[in-house]
Chains A and B, each alone.
Chain A
């Protein structure tokens, strides 16, 4: 998993039509919208049930919706589930933290030295296009189906977006600012602290956000494949044990974890770097 996700939270997406101060009309509209959304949800449920009843798709793929809902609720009451959730999230976050600790300093270093950057460029391109999950069979042999192994794989996946974004941020300095810095003969250390760092920060933050959703994706992928303990392991086991409803309930939880992760990171990133959000863009 390299550049994992772009993606906006719904609230930040650009909205071309901004109605001006029509509160009552708007709230009525919002109720209408909610009704439509509810309708859509019901429609999906109806289609799902229809597919189940007709047996059009394998019943392993489409268990009754009611069963999924029941498993979903039951799961929330079991300690084992919360333990699995905690394991997955903590493994993902540990890998992510390692990625930050390594990726940001290296990114800054490569960002300020042209020669280092050019030398490492090819290596980085190789690294970021390498699907880390392919390391899994080898890693399972070396480290076993353990949390350490999972963390190592997550780390090798999330390192790249952080590294690449940080390099990009440190290198991308407005030409006018660069000229100003040169014109006033700002010494290197001061330049690094006052110009390079603030410039790179929002990009590094974006890299971390991308890496964070990748970390969950990789962690669950690792667990699913190697049956390492955690949500992914439980999910895969539920599936092979012939409990598709339970497996789907896990999928829903996995989705919720992903959603929560995105939301939190957007909020944190937005708070920390609000001053900069308007002015910068990140590398596509």
Chain B
């Protein structure tokens, strides 16, 4: 954000500094692969052509729309369910203790192991994929929400009690915002998990989607198209994480600003625990 305030020359320099390496690598790839005869590593120009034709005349646009719909819906579903359940479990200490071993176990199951079962059982439609993404994404959100709720400072809870804040208001205006930094940390993890599950579910069995695009291209030995699809997935992942940062900034404006303003304002015990 400070970059915007810089004079144009400095700004340009900054941009150059950030972009040169990627540009050099891309250029290197372009020229080194220019007269590649390898089937597996086609020339970047060929990949580029495959990408352009995939976008203009092929299915890439529909595929990307399909995949994006799945990941967004799955993630939103997971966030809503995970936050609601997380607040419930975090608020009820006894319930949390009872559920703890189950949560620990389910969380440890590699989500990728469930994909063949769920897809095999529910079919290859869009809904099973969304549920699968939501199911994989719900755990990081849930566990982070629980931790976030439990980390609310005792002073804050005392305050709510002393001022007799009613339940619904307390949950809405106090517990939810206090846990929000950790909830967002969970959503960020979920986003990464979700993109993987999205791709995997489409590779595993689908008739549309960017994962399906790569898979079919690979199975008919259209390697350039497979590489092009892979690059699209990379771009998709990057754009989704950018979008996440925008959302996070919007949701947690107070948090980032207060962290910058003072060491105080810590209404929960250190958000850093999110990864630690």
Contact = CB atoms under 8 A, between A and B. Distances in A.
Direct contact of A and B (CB under 8 A): yes
Interface stretch (B12-20, B57-65, B160-168): B12-20
Contact of A255 (B109, B118, B218, B276): B109
Interface in A105-143: 115, 118-123, 125-126, 128-138, 140-142
B218 A141 contact: yes
A222 B107 CA distance: 19
B1 interface: no
Given A6-B144, A40-B98, A1 B121 contact: no
Given A244-B121, A247-B116, A254 B151 contact: no
A135 B14 CA distance: 31
Nearest to A61: B121
Nearest to B186: A6
Interface in B220-255: 221, 223, 226-227, 229-230, 233-234, 237-238, 240-241
A91 interface: no
A126 B121 contact: no
B276 A281 contact: yes
B126 to A, nearest CB: 17
Size bracket of the A interface? 35 or more
A137 B111 CA distance: 19
Given A14-B150, A140-B218, A282-B276, A3 B22 contact: no
Contacts of A196: none
A44 B122 CA distance: 21
A61 B108 contact: no
B55 interface: no
A247 B262 CA distance: 53
Interface in B200-226: 200, 203-204, 210-211, 214-215, 217-219, 221, 223, 226
B77 interface: no
A138 B226 contact: yes
B121 A141 contact: no
Interface in A61-109: 61-62
B159 interface: no
Interface stretch (A20-28, A176-184, A185-193, A234-242): A234-242
Contacts of B271: 284
Contacts of B66: none
Interface string B170-202: 000000000000000110110011011011100
A145 B267 CA distance: 51
A125 B233 contact: no
B248 to A, nearest CB: 10
A272 interface: no
B98 A14 contact: no
B4 interface: no
B150 to A, nearest CB: 6
9 contacts: A2-B192, A7-B140, A118-B18, A137-B230, A142-B40, A218-B112, A280-B276, A284-B185, A284-B275
Interface of A: 1-10, 13-14, 16-17, 33, 36-37, 40-41, 44, 57-58, 60-62, 115, 118-123, 125-126, 128-138, 140-142, 206, 210, 213, 216-218, 220-221, 224-225, 231-232, 235-236, 239-240, 244, 247-248, 250-252, 254-256, 258-259, 261-262, 277, 280-284
* Closest 7 pairs (CB-CB, A-B): A281-B272, A221-B112, A61-B121, A137-B218, A258-B108, A255-B109, A134-B233
